Amino acid sequence: MMQRVVVIEDEKDIVDLLSYTLRREGFDVRSAGRGQEGLELLQRGPAALALIDIMLPDLDGLEVCRRLREDKSLRNLPIIFLTAKGEEVDRILGLEIGADDYVVKPFSPRELIARIKAVLRRREREDEGPPVIETRDLRMDTRTQEVIVRGQPIELSTLEFKLLHFLASHPRRIFARENLLDEVWGRDRFVTPRTVDVHIRRLREKIEIQPEKPRYLQTVRGSGYRFTPLPLEESELEA
Ligand code: CA
């Protein structure tokens, strides 16, 4: 799957150089010359990373970044800033802004690619979640793709496994179906939110004692789904 990099930069020569370099490395590139346009581009489709120039004609790059961090679906997007010499690098990397890295113009395309790949690798490791998840009567191991429910191994499709693992890696967090499609199915998908419901139903039949009264995979009405871990020992109160 081609990863998309969104470039927000108003200098056409730099956009051309970046587009050429990134495409040669196998990235899908989209660009915007203004901050607002860049924000809209990012909101429309999932990107793997954004390269943002600090000096833009409308919103500056720092403001673009701040707005991205306020957007629930873009809060974790990796960001690399393009800066001119002498710009406030401390602020860029400060917690306040939360960029992942920056490069100073003029930069070498090779160095920029190396930085991009490093940021993407780091993010991938963070997204993987723990290799083994264990809760009451359910255990899943990403290294072997094995799932044990009440002592018995069960068969899950790759997508069912990914969906369950994603939800279980973020216990108690509520995900809308659209978010799950982006996170689990990815952007090259030809599926509708209904697909999520179908997979959740199948998972419940495989892991829940009473699929119609799920303990793990819960529906949050009007919002989406969440995974609720159970304590390892069954408490008396719950019985
Ligand atoms: Ca500029």
pLDDT of residue 96: 57
Return the number of other C-beta atoms located less than 10 Å from residue 99's C-beta: 22
Q: How far is the CA of 183 from the centre of ligand 1 (A)?
A: 32
Q: How far is the CA of 129 from the centre of ligand 1 (A)?
A: 37
Q: How far is the CA of 17 from the centre of ligand 1 (A)?
A: 14
CA atoms within 13 A on the CB side of 232: 3
Taking the C-alpha atoms of residue 226 and residue 224, their distance in angstroms, rounded to an integer, is 7
Q: How far is the CA of 160 from the centre of ligand 1 (A)?
A: 45
pLDDT of residue 92: 61
Q: How far is the CA of 57 from the centre of ligand 1 (A)?
A: 7
Q: How far is the CA of 85 from the centre of ligand 1 (A)?
A: 12
Q: How far is the CA of 45 from the centre of ligand 1 (A)?
A: 24
pLDDT of residue 95: 44
Helices marked H in 71-230: 89-93, 109-127, 158-169, 177-180, 193-207
Q: How far is the CA of 165 from the centre of ligand 1 (A)?
A: 42
Q: How far is the CA of 208 from the centre of ligand 1 (A)?
A: 55
Q: How far is the CA of 26 from the centre of ligand 1 (A)?
A: 25
pLDDT of residue 59: 92
Per-residue pLDDT tens, the chain, 239 aa: give them: 689 999 999 999 999 999 999 999 999 999 999 999 999 999 998 899 999 999 999 998 989 998 998 887 788 899 999 988 766 666 666 545 668 888 888 899 999 999 999 999 888 777 777 788 999 899 999 878 899 999 999 999 988 999 999 999 888 999 999 889 888 887 656 788 899 999 999 999 999 999 999 999 999 998 999 999 988 776 544 44
Q: How far is the CA of 229 from the centre of ligand 1 (A)?
A: 48
CB neighbour class for 207 (10 Å; exposed up to 12, middle 13-18, buried from 19): buried
Taking the C-alpha atoms of residue 134 and residue 157, their distance in angstroms, rounded to an integer, is 19
DSSP 175: B
The pocket of ion ligand 1, defined by CB under 5 A, consists of 10, 53, 55
Contact indicator for 90, 83 with CB cutoff of 8 Å: no
DSSP for 114-146, written as a single string: HHHHHHHHHHHHHHT--SEEEETTEEEETTTTE
Domain boundaries, the chain: 4-124, 129-238
pLDDT of residue 131: 80
pLDDT of residue 97: 67
Q: How far is the CA of 196 from the centre of ligand 1 (A)?
A: 42
Q: How far is the CA of 162 from the centre of ligand 1 (A)?
A: 40
Q: How far is the CA of 110 from the centre of ligand 1 (A)?
A: 21
Q: How far is the CA of 12 from the centre of ligand 1 (A)?
A: 9
What is the amino acid identity at position 50?
Answer: A
CATH number of the domain located at residue range(s) 4-124 in this protein: 3.40.50.2300
Q: How far is the CA of 83 from the centre of ligand 1 (A)?
A: 8
pLDDT of residue 149: 95
pLDDT of residue 236: 45
Instruction: Return the CATH class of domain 129-238.
Output: mainly alpha
